[in-house]
Structure 1
Amino acid sequence: MKDQLKKAMQHNQIIDIMYIAKDNSFTKRRIKLIKIAGDTAQAYCFTRHAKRTFKIDNILAVYPVISKASGLNA
C-alpha cells in the first residue's frame, strides 16, 4: 500500500481511498498526498476540506481519480 501511495504522491495524483476510521467505520476519502512519514500519510482531504493524517495500515484500497473533463477544451 505504501508503494502505491508514494507513486501517487510522486505523480501529484488525486486519489480515492477506502479507510477505516478511528471509530472502526469505513469511509471513502478523496485526497491529495502531501507527505508520507513512517506509518502515516499526510494529505489534503477534499471530503473534509482540511489537512488530515491517515494511518497507512488503515487504508484498505487506493483508486486513482480519472478526470472525465480532459480533452473537452479542444
Structure 2
Amino acid sequence: MNGLLKRAVESNEVLEMIYLSDKGEISQRRIQVIKVYEESFTAYCFARKQQRTFKLTNVLSIGPARKVRRGA
C-alpha cells in the first residue's frame, strides 16, 4: 500500500478508498494523497472538501479511482 500511496503523491493521481473511522463508521472517499508518513498519510478528501489525515491501519481498500462515464 505504501508504494501505491507514494506513486500517487508523485503523479497526483486520484485514489478511491474505503475507510473505517475510529468510531467504527465505514465510508468511501475519493482522495488525492499529499504526504505519506510511517503510520498515516495526509490527503485532500473530495467528499469533505478539505485536507484530512488517515491512519494506514484503518484503510480497508484503496486503488485508482474509476473513471465515471455518463450518458448513452
Q: Report the TM-score range of the alignment, normalised by the length of the smaller protein.
A: 0.7 to 0.9
Query: For residues 14 and 32 of structure 2, what CA distance do their matches in structure 1 show?
Result: 5
Query: 1:42 corresponds to which letter in structure 2?
Result: T
Please, what is the CA RMSD of the aligned residues? 1.5
Count of aligned pairs:
69
Aligned to 1:11: 11
Moved over 6 A (4+): none
Taking structure 1 as the reference length, what is the TM-score of the superposition?
0.81
**Is 2:37 aligned against 1:34?**
no
Larger Rg: 1
Taking structure 2 as the reference length, what is the TM-score of the superposition?
0.83
Query: For residues 53 and 16 of structure 2, what CA distance do their matches in structure 1 show?
Result: 15
Query: CA 1:18/1:68 → structure 2, altered by over 3 Å: closer, same or farther?
Result: closer
